Chain A
Amino acid sequence: MKSKKRIDSDSGYDVLMYIIATFALIITLYPFLYIIAVSFSGSQAVYRGEVFIWPVNPTLAGYRQVLSQKGIWTAYQNTLFYTIVGTAFNIVATTIAAFPLSRKSFSGRRFCNFFIAFTMYFSGGLIPTYLLITNLGFYNSRWVMIIPSLLSTFNVMVCRSAFSAIPDEVFESAQMDGASDWKTFTRIAIHLITPTLAVLVLYYAVSRWNNFMTPLLYISKNDLMPMQVLLRRVLIQSSSELLDAGGVGSDDRAAVSVQIRYVTIVVATLPILVSYPMLQRYFVKGVMLGAVKG
């Protein structure tokens, strides 16, 4: 039933929303367009400040250099493996861990929540962690990218919040049908938090995609390296601050360096961006509706 009364301030409100959204679009899209433009531009033009939105003196030199890095395709495959397999493990682990924590009647609730929250604040630091992980045999193993980072406490909390938001009636009716906690979890609860699952997939996938510190520390074999490490190597090598350290004699690398940095961003980012549209459809309203009424 539509309301016949038009609220004038609402159209002002809508316009405001569009203005804000457009502003957000410009300030986030423009720098990225700039990055893409620079990645295709000749470096002299970049240093002269001639690049604004379109590439000046377009060239593929930067891309050729970065993409012809030895082992980049293996590295890319590794990244895909770590991201996909890792995220899968993450989602499974996070949902299973978060579910008990969300049940208000769970006797271990307070303790377990504190137990995991505490770890967010206190850590032994790099050396003890490093010693542990290497002593467990994870050095130069694919699983070092997956097991130690099995759970992100933050994400567990997010998932827990989502489970908590499910109305009690849902669980009560499940219980009356005789379902155990496990069945409630797998048959019902999981399906009701789809938007949150989409968020978690995104968070975990992005975090794994961008992670370069773990492989740097624990992997030395080139065929296990993910792409981020390779790209970081290229990025740092062409980053001026560090070139200065010893007064490199010949600054001839100046010509190509600035562009390379931006190429690494583009190469590193585009693939993961493509995954968002796929998750978009889970951000749909009305998911809860069916569960309660049914």
Chain B
Amino acid sequence: MRQADSSSLPRGHTRKRLLEILNRDKYLYAMFLPFFIYYIIFSYIPMTGLVIAFKDFKPGFGIYHGDWVGLKWFVQFFNSPYAVRTIRNTVLISLYDLVFGFPVPILFAVCIMEIRHMGYRRIVQTASYLPHFISTVVMVGILVNFFTINNGIVNNIIEKLGGERINFLINPRWFRTLYVGSSIWQNFGFSSIIYIAAITGIDPGLYEAAKIDGITKLKQVFYITIPLIASTIMVLFILQLGRIMSVGFEKVFLMYSSAVYETADVISTYIYRQGIESSNYSFATAIGLFNSLINFAFVYAANRISRATTQTSLW
């Protein structure tokens, strides 16, 4: 009979037990083995290239050559008057995205599943992921187009409603809103798919029972739907926390300008402006490593908390 939890082994029989367990799980190990190899090859071997972060990498000589420079790149970064600012901007943008952006796909999924009319549901769903397919270059183009001061639609509407035109694009205070807002718009539909699938897996009998008991639909959402997709939500939440230092380069680069560096300059754009010389690789790898460590720390902490409280965790 299989034990529910294999973590406790009786002492003294360890070796025999071990072989028994391996034998019992042999199919599972066999299933995972090819992919174990895959990860070793495609993830762990390149990972050794992180040494570039401590070297002065020059092209053409391979990644294990080059002089050791220790923490030089880290020092260079933290000595910069802009280090704190870029970190702060990166973290703030990620937090905005987390706080405002994370709930939206969930709420949208719940909402969509309440639409009884299948045809309409299909239309709304399909429309909702159209924005996901718009490439960043065009996305930013549209954004600028809509929010520009002279001819932009948004400002035209504001003026018609009697207000004064707002200079969205050069005001540092608007940058995060525009950035995160457009990200939410672009991704909420596509991100909701997974929640929809999770909601699909809920036993409809529960809803029927609730209806019989006279529980309002609104309460049903909070007492049935959300709790039953909680593990999906938790996993995705932990994963998003793990992207806290990873604000992508392309979109910020296309959207920002010296007028908004104050809130827009993030780590990835800062690294880019270090120059396109080849030794930039070492610098970029070093700061990338720093980012990874922070990201991982967040995930580790969140994972532990989650495991202890909700029994859901990444590992």
Residue ranges of A at the interface with B (Cβ–Cβ < 8 Å): 1, 3, 5, 7, 9-10, 13-14, 17-18, 20-22, 24-25, 27-29, 31-32, 34-35, 49, 93, 96-97, 99-101, 103-108, 110, 112-125, 127-129, 131-132, 136, 148, 150-151, 154, 157-158, 161-162, 164-165, 175, 180-182, 185, 195-196, 198-199, 202-203, 206, 210, 232, 235-236, 239, 241, 261-262, 264-265, 268-269, 272-273, 276-277, 280, 283-289
Contact = CB atoms under 8 A, between A and B. Distances in A.
Contacts of B123: 25
Contacts, number: 274
A281 to B, nearest CB: 10
A108 B130 contact: no
A116 B120 CA distance: 40
Nearest to A5: B214
B82 interface: no
A128 B142 CA distance: 36
Interface stretch (B159-167, B171-179, B292-300): B292-300
Contact of A24 (B49, B127, B133, B190): B127
A13 to B, nearest CB: 5
Contacts of B50: 122, 124-125, 128
Interface in B211-236: 211-212, 214, 216-218, 231-232, 235
Interface residues of B, number: 96
Is chain B's interface secondary structure helix, strand, loop, or mixed overall?
A: helix
Contacts of A103: 28
Contact of B111 (A20, A118, A157): A20
A24 B127 CA distance: 8
B186 to A, nearest CB: 9
Nearest to A286: B204
A24 B124 contact: yes
Contacts of B44: 119
Contacts of A123: 43, 46-47, 288, 292
B245 to A, nearest CB: 10
Contacts of A277: 122, 126
Given A158-B232, A181-B28, 6 more contacts: A25-B123, A105-B3, A106-B28, A125-B285, A157-B239, A264-B135
